[in-house]
Amino acid sequence: MSNLPPLEDGEVVMFDHVPSFRAFKRTALLMIALTVPAVVVFLIVFPDTLWPAVPMFVTCVILMQERVRLGRYRAWITNKRVIFQGERFIALDDIKAVGKRGNGVRLAWENGGKGSKLLYPEDADALIAAIETAKDAA
């Protein structure tokens, strides 16, 4: 487990969330599929210009940026907290709900915070089960 942040006494890593490139590719294909109708509309409205390339260009820039940041979405689920890359963490006691949301798993906080998302899990159900198991063990 490389880049593992410092753990507290008695803390054990129960699940290592490494973002899945396959899940990212599914999201990318969905974004491109949603962009194609916009390109068609731009082709109809602006037939003799370069404007039809703009929606696809914007989508590709967003996807390239997301691909570069993919490694920053790593997290570790321990028996006491969920630790995000960069040593930001949420105590398991503060998590009120865990559920699938789009291309990730949403963690809703107990203290009314905005919540956090674990992006691009290989198996979202397994990640949810690991967090629920860790919460029950805590």
pLDDT of 138 > 80? The answer is: no
pLDDT of residue 17: 92
The secondary structure of the chain, three-state, reads CCCCCCCCCCCCEEEEECCCHHHHHHHHHHHHHHHHHHHHHHHHHCCCCCCCHHHHHHHHHHHHHHHHHHHHHCEEEECCEEEECCCCEEEHHHEEEEEEECCEEEEEECCCCCCEEEECCCCHHHHHHHHHHHHHHC
- pTM of this prediction? 0.80
pLDDT band at residue 1 under the 50/70/90 scheme: very low
